[in-house]
Amino acid sequence: MLHNVTEDECILYLWQNEKTVVIGRNQNPWNECRIKELSEAGGKMVRRLSGGGAVYHDLGNLNFTFLITKTNYNLDRQLGVIIRAVNNLGIPAEKSGRNDITVEGKKFSGNAFYSMGNKCYHHGTILVDVDMSALSRYLNVSKAKLQSKGVDSVKSRVTNLKDYNPDLTIDLLKAELIKAFGEVYGLEPIRMDIDSLPEDDLQEREKKFSSWEWNFGRKIEFSDQIHRRFAWGDILLQMTVIGGIIKDCRAYSDSLEVELFEEIPKVLINCKYTQEAMEEALRSLSVDDGRKQMLEDIIMMICEEV
């Protein structure tokens, strides 16, 4: 759908997964998900293209994706569709923080973002009647992240919309979302013809995104690691250091930023494991103003830890 969205079109895709942990583009699956327990229960773990943190899906959760060109991309408008629909159900939803929608301070929707050329998408969860015990059982949320949110468990940070409207169902929410979609954009929503999407392309992408290589990647045998949490998210650097040289490196993060954490290992591999050499390598990265502070934070972390 991202590849096929047209210039003057916005697609709202509503979808569900059953018993699935979805991790962000640059996250370490073994740190974020209790993979053994999830697999034994018949669940799956998958990696998405966008950044951000891990989330749990079951059939009590409804996911949404807005697919649109950059010309028409408007985060406030897109979030406005979700908030209006939930408000129309008698629930006082509001935007909170970098990428959450909350009710009475508790999160029911986490959002993430991805762009490719002139096209982009914004997607997120809507917790309606999710099994909270399963969410806690399969997600391995770090204590540092929970403390940064002022809570002591993932269960105390999130909520189901059904707690605020006991009559709410997934079908009712879908109907309200479609209605709000039309109201916010001032147009009549038209159901998309899924059969128009190229089958060969779908099969090729299904093969890639279901592969072990994509979802788990390579787990390096590291000798050194550095971890820190910042306002923009956390970073875990794992490195294999042999003879004072970084021979392998992975950068994991739940930041909504994606590209920076894919570039960091490229400049650190074959670099000397010293403050000076690592700082010089990182400063060779070309970053825009939005990522400059993130890079400075990472350099500061390395100078304090190495």
Residues 91 and 172 in one domain: yes
Residues 296 and 165 in one domain: no
Mean of pLDDT values over 204-210: 95
> pLDDT tier at 106 (50, 70, 90 boundaries)?
very high
> pLDDT tier at 148 (50, 70, 90 boundaries)?
very low
Residue ending a domain, choose from 154, 188, 214: 214
What CATH number has the domain bearing residue 54? 3.30.930.10
pLDDT of residue 146: 38
Residues 180 and 300 in one domain: no
Domain-located, residue 22: yes
> pLDDT tier at 219 (50, 70, 90 boundaries)?
confident
Q: Where are the alpha helices (DSSP H) in the chain?
A: 29-32, 35-40, 75-88, 132-138, 143-148, 154-157, 170-185, 199-209, 212-215, 259-268, 275-283, 289-305
What is the token pair recorded at 35?
């993979």
> pLDDT tier at 155 (50, 70, 90 boundaries)?
low
- Give 111-141 pLDDT, tens digit per residue: 999 999 999 999 999 999 999 999 999 998 6
Residues 29 and 144 in one domain: yes
State the average pLDDT for the chain.
91
Domain-located, residue 5: no
- The proportion of the chain whose per-residue pLDDT surpasses 90, expressed as a percent, equals 83
Bigger pLDDT: 168 or 217? Answer: 168
- Give 18-68 pLDDT, tens digit per residue: 999 999 999 989 889 999 999 999 999 999 999 999 999 999 999 999 999
Residues 241 and 284 in one domain: yes
What is the token pair recorded at 285?
């990265």
Long-range contacts, stretch 172-177, CB < 8 angstroms, 24+ apart: 172/89, 173/62, 173/85, 173/86, 173/89, 173/126, 173/128, 174/14, 174/62, 176/85, 176/86, 176/88, 176/89, 177/12, 177/14, 177/64, 177/81, 177/82, 177/85
Residues 165 and 85 in one domain: yes
Domain-located, residue 55: yes
- 3-state DSSP assignment of residue 133: helix
Residue ending a domain, choose from 161, 190, 214: 214
Q: Structure pTM?
A: 0.83
Cβ atoms of residues 273 and 226 within 8 Å: no
pLDDT at 95 over 60: yes
What CATH number has the domain bearing residue 232? 3.30.390.50
* Domain, as residue range, for 277: 224-305
> pLDDT tier at 222 (50, 70, 90 boundaries)?
confident
Residues 115 and 47 in one domain: yes
pLDDT of residue 196: 85
Starting at the earlier edge strand, list the strands of the sheet with 20-23: 44-47, 20-23, 55-57
Residue ending a domain, choose from 214, 235, 252: 214
Structural domains counted in the chain: 2
- Give 254-304 pLDDT, tens digit per residue: 999 999 999 999 999 999 999 999 999 999 999 998 899 999 999 999 999
pLDDT at 169 over 90: yes
